[in-house]
Amino acid sequence: MDLSPLVGTVPNQNVLILVDPELASIPASVKRLMPPDVTIVSSAPPRGRQLVDHVVVAAREGGGEIDRCAAQLMLELLYPQTWSASPSNPRYDRPPDTRLLQNEIERLLLYAHPDPIRESHVRDLIETGPNDRVFRFIDAVFAGQLDVATAELERLLLAGEEPAKLMAQVQQQVELAALVAAAPGKPPIEIGRALALTNPNRMSGVAASVRGRSVRSLIAAVDHATDVDRKLKTGHLRQPADALYHLLAKLARTTEPTRSRAGH
């Protein structure tokens, strides 16, 4: 796509500004399409102490106050992996979204009014921690609730969770679910002990998440997880996030319940 005609229609006395908040820098392929007189400006979001300062100032500009401890807690809850520093691999970076932060600050100001925003207000209002979100995400995946799973995944990625890590967690859950199905009637905790899991009680949750699922559907889930993993490793799927969405779509089609004899 040649952008020259678009830029060329702008009168000299005017300025055309194109903004993409999702990009920290302009891809080389896009730069090559730009006319020579275009100015490209890029900037990285604040992190660490600068980001805490940003939250404090934003609260003050909104007509209230937030102490630094409360500001840092808010950032830790919203961006646990990336608020203080960007990851070494930029593919896994989910930079803090200053627009989202502004919305959260405004909500907290209303909630705390007329008092300053304190840590207790942040804990009351900010979404629960990343582990709870991961559990909700995996539960939705195994319930075949693609819309819920996708929404939870977006929240996790926004909070800085690495797609590759989430992919591994889903794949592990698929494998454990298949093992539960392969040992009907055996207590889940015993299966966990036989597998030498650090927390054998985890298998109780796995068993509950697949209750009513047919063995056939769980075997299909393993096949899908293996296929997606192979495609990611061989380059057919380039990014872990792409592979994760691909796997979600496949797993959503394998959630048919076990049929009862009365249904035949």
Q: 149 and 61, same structural domain?
A: no
Does the pTM exceed 0.75?
no
Tokens 């998440």 sit at which residue? 209
Question: 202: domain CATH number?
Answer: 1.20.272.10
Q: 120 and 152, same structural domain?
A: no
Q: 166 and 113, same structural domain?
A: no
Euclidean distance between CA atoms 253 and 255, whole angstroms = 6
- Identify the CA nearest to 105 among candidates 47, 59, 73: 59
At 64-75, the pLDDT tens digits run 999 999 999 898
Q: What is the mean pLDDT of residues 11-21?
A: 70
**Domains in the chain, number:** 3
Q: 247 and 158, same structural domain?
A: yes
Q: 23 and 7, same structural domain?
A: yes
What mean pLDDT, rounded, does the chain reach?
Answer: 80
Statement: residue 49 has pLDDT above 60 = yes
At 153-168, the pLDDT tens digits run 888 887 778 888 888 8
| pLDDT number for residue 39 | 77
| pLDDT number for residue 92 | 58
Statement: residue 260 has pLDDT above 90 = no
At 168-212, the pLDDT tens digits run 888 888 888 888 888 888 888 888 888 877 677 778 878 887 777
> Of the ranges 8-12, 165-169, 240-244, which one carries the lowest mean pLDDT score?
8-12
Angle separating helix axes 68-78 and 98-112, nearest 10 degrees: 130
Tell me the CB-side half-sphere exposure of residue 215, using CA atoms within 13 A.
6
Tokens of 170: 């889903």
Residue 33: partners with Cβ closer than 8 Å, 6 or more residues away? 1, 2, 3, 4
| pLDDT number for residue 258 | 41
At 80-93, the pLDDT tens digits run 777 888 766 665 56
Euclidean distance between CA atoms 243 and 241, whole angstroms = 5
| pLDDT number for residue 261 | 35
> Of the ranges 22-26, 215-219, 242-246, 252-256, which one carries the lowest mean pLDDT score?
22-26
Euclidean distance between CA atoms 56 and 44, whole angstroms = 19
**Residue 197 vs residues 5, 165, 187, 194, 201: alpha-carbon distances, Å:** 61, 18, 14, 8, 9
| pLDDT number for residue 256 | 54
**Residue 229 vs residues 92, 140, 237: alpha-carbon distances, Å:** 18, 20, 9
Q: 163 and 241, same structural domain?
A: yes
Residue that finishes a domain, picked among 108, 125, 142 = 125
Q: 19 and 140, same structural domain?
A: no
Q: 224 and 158, same structural domain?
A: yes
- Identify the CA nearest to 22 among candidates 85, 75, 98: 98
For residue 9, the enclosing domain spans: 1-43
